[in-house]
A and B are shown apart, each in its own frame.
Chain A
């Protein structure tokens, strides 16, 4: 599913960050552990095609990411990945359900209104379908962001520090939810985090040296 070989990345004027080779099978989950500045986000963005590869190879489901043009990469992201960011970044101009529909529209699929309704129901958010994003609590916004990430039934869900700002109770609720939605769509979950509470939930770890 995911295989990384000889990957390194250098920001302008800084020494290159080298990443250990690793591979991950379909449906397997992975934690990218490391302190701030260890390159977790960089690796996650390289995996998700948000950052172009400078050196090394990332192979996703048989596709070498480096060979894709910018436009192909956009389409590839929409088709294969679901993203969850630390701040949930919902599109504030759109109501809740439209935020989900936007994901399928941008991925080039027909706006599947059943899927978004179904997902909102699954997360206990159906009452908020037409609500303004700004009226949501942080927990609700996170659930919408998770729903959005799995909207197109991606094969890989990439999450960047999804739980670091949460207390224990919410932390476990979110990770359980993530594992549940990943299981339902048989997706691989890759979480970049320094939150050690997650290590008990996902056994597959990749520790990044700082």
Chain B
């Protein structure tokens, strides 16, 4: 017999009340946990994926779409840009580094990105096995893409047009896998990388006289795609990822690009901030809802304790008669309240992680997002502590009531 077992028996004596209170608290904490897990991981992913990219340049359209498409690979391209126009911007003195991207095809929902070695370098992606692509139609597969599609080194696959699995299949020009990437927890995991020439070649089906991929030396190669001549007016790419040479570029370069050409420049920092402010409203509503749930459960626990103490005043008086001090009774009520809120928040954390886990299982798309239910954040300890504190607050008044029980009056009237 201990105080804890006394508290346990009191909670067990009213199972429905106890379960309801724990569940209410759990629901509130679960919503907060889900928002916490998704929000934090989204933030991490966005900062990880946008790291080292100051500006994205592509065809005119929605700047947010340009960012979503070319950095996070979740939206469709805004259109194509001419290689010679891109070269002109890439040669600007304020540009430090440029990575060209050619998008358009996918394999089983995993996007195929035509680019150069600078792109995996940006994310510090390493090969788990095999080697980087060297010739057109050679491809390196990201870790998640490899495990979900089952592609292995030496496998061949036909790309499909667009991002869906039901796009037109380019069966005439199959890719061959030469390497698999290590997981990097960035967008690299979900991509299939290849040379820009491969993307061109797949789409030039029929027009065979392409010189892409030829080993012939060019006297004046393009700065973006060395295998073609500079100033080529027929070739197109989707976008360029850029790094500024100096801080002034952040002010001048976007304005220069947006006003002087057919191109559009979008800043990942600015656009993701804008995206968050749009999402923020929904997140705020959900958070508010969670706090309302927690408030209701606090109130419910308070009322339950307050009422049960009225029924229990004989118990309290008897326990005093048996030698219990006022402080001990005070403590037992506090323990009862904090046990409820603490158990509720533990349940909430478990529910929250389970919800995120089941979210990652529902579809291939959600698996590709790379969200993990096994990520834990310091905020969760804060949640646990805060819930214990809430329990303390809502049991304080009933506990004080227990402390003040007039044993003589209660027992004499019994």
Residues in A lying within 8 Å of B, measured CB to CB: 41-42, 45, 48, 50-51, 70-71, 74-75, 77-79, 81, 83, 85-87, 89, 91-94, 98, 101-108, 111, 148, 160
Residues on the B chain within 8 Å of A45, using CB? 408, 411-412
Given A50-B411, A111-B1, residue A89 in contact with residue B315 (CB < 8 A) = yes
Given A86-B414, A87-B414, A89-B314, residue A104 in contact with residue B1 (CB < 8 A) = yes
Residues on the B chain within 8 Å of A77, using CB? 320-323
Residues on the B chain within 8 Å of A75, using CB? 323, 325
Number of B positions contacting A (CB below 8 A) = 27
Query: B408 to A103, Cβ gap below 8 A?
Result: no
**What's the Cα separation between A98 and B319 when bound, in Å?**
13
Residues on the A chain within 8 Å of B13, using CB? 92-93
**Nearest CB in chain A: distance from B143 CB, A:** 55
| Chain B CB within 10 Å, residue with most, of A70, A78, A102 | A102
**Nearest CB in chain A: distance from B119 CB, A:** 66
A51 (CB) vs chain B CBs: closest residue? B408
B385 part of interface (Cβ distance < 8 Å): no
The B398-414 residues at the A interface (CB cut-off 8 A) are 407-408, 411-412, 414
A-B contact pairs, 25 of them (CB 8 A): A45-B408, A45-B411, A50-B321, A50-B408, A70-B325, A74-B320, A75-B323, A77-B322, A83-B322, A85-B318, A85-B414, A87-B314, A89-B315, A89-B411, A93-B6, A93-B10, A93-B12, A98-B9, A101-B1, A102-B6, A102-B322, A106-B323, A106-B324, A111-B1, A160-B411
**Nearest CB in chain B: distance from A165 CB, A:** 12
Query: B321 to A83, Cβ gap below 8 A?
Result: yes
Residues on the A chain within 8 Å of B407, using CB? 50
B233 part of interface (Cβ distance < 8 Å): no
Query: B414 to A71, Cβ gap below 8 A?
Result: no
Please encode chain B, from 300 to 331, with 1 for each CB lying within 8 Å of some chain A CB and 0 for all others. 00000000000000110111111111111000
B234 part of interface (Cβ distance < 8 Å): no
Query: A70 to B323, Cβ gap below 8 A?
Result: no
Please encode chain B, from 160 to 187, with 1 for each CB lying within 8 Å of some chain A CB and 0 for all others. 0000000000000000000000000000
**Nearest CB in chain B: distance from A39 CB, A:** 11
Given A89-B314, A98-B1, A98-B9, residue A106 in contact with residue B322 (CB < 8 A) = yes
B252 part of interface (Cβ distance < 8 Å): no
**What's the Cα separation between A78 and B411 when bound, in Å?**
16
Residues on the A chain within 8 Å of B315, using CB? 89, 91-93
Residues on the B chain within 8 Å of A51, using CB? 408
**What's the Cα separation between A128 and B414 when bound, in Å?**
25
**What's the Cα separation between A89 and B12 when bound, in Å?**
19
B2 part of interface (Cβ distance < 8 Å): yes
**What's the Cα separation between A92 and B6 when bound, in Å?**
11
**Nearest CB in chain B: distance from A86 CB, A:** 7
**Nearest CB in chain A: distance from B13 CB, A:** 4
**What's the Cα separation between A190 and B99 when bound, in Å?**
97
5 A-B pairs besides A41-B412, A91-B318, A103-B323 with CB distance below 8 A are A42-B412, A51-B408, A78-B322, A86-B414, A93-B13
B314 (CB) vs chain A CBs: closest residue? A89
Query: B318 to A74, Cβ gap below 8 A?
Result: no
**Nearest CB in chain B: distance from A85 CB, A:** 6
Query: A108 to B1, Cβ gap below 8 A?
Result: no
Residues on the A chain within 8 Å of B325, using CB? 70-71, 74-75
A158 (CB) vs chain B CBs: closest residue? B321
Query: A79 to B323, Cβ gap below 8 A?
Result: yes
**What's the Cα separation between A105 and B9 when bound, in Å?**
15
Residues on the A chain within 8 Å of B320, using CB? 50, 74, 77
**Nearest CB in chain A: distance from B129 CB, A:** 63
**What's the Cα separation between A116 and B397 when bound, in Å?**
35
Residues on the B chain within 8 Å of A48, using CB? 321
Residues on the A chain within 8 Å of B326, using CB? 70-71, 74
**What's the Cα separation between A24 and B13 when bound, in Å?**
42
Residues on the B chain within 8 Å of A74, using CB? 320, 323-326
Residues on the B chain within 8 Å of A105, using CB? 1-2
**What's the Cα separation between A107 and B6 when bound, in Å?**
14
**What's the Cα separation between A81 and B318 when bound, in Å?**
12
**Nearest CB in chain B: distance from A21 CB, A:** 22
**Nearest CB in chain A: distance from B409 CB, A:** 9
Query: A107 to B408, Cβ gap below 8 A?
Result: no
**What's the Cα separation between A91 and B9 when bound, in Å?**
10
**Nearest CB in chain B: distance from A154 CB, A:** 10
**Nearest CB in chain A: distance from B361 CB, A:** 42
Residues on the B chain within 8 Å of A94, using CB? 6, 9
Please encode chain B, from 350 to 365, with 1 for each CB lying within 8 Å of some chain A CB and 0 for all others. 0000000000000000
**Nearest CB in chain A: distance from B286 CB, A:** 38
Given A74-B325, A93-B10, A98-B1, residue A106 in contact with residue B411 (CB < 8 A) = no
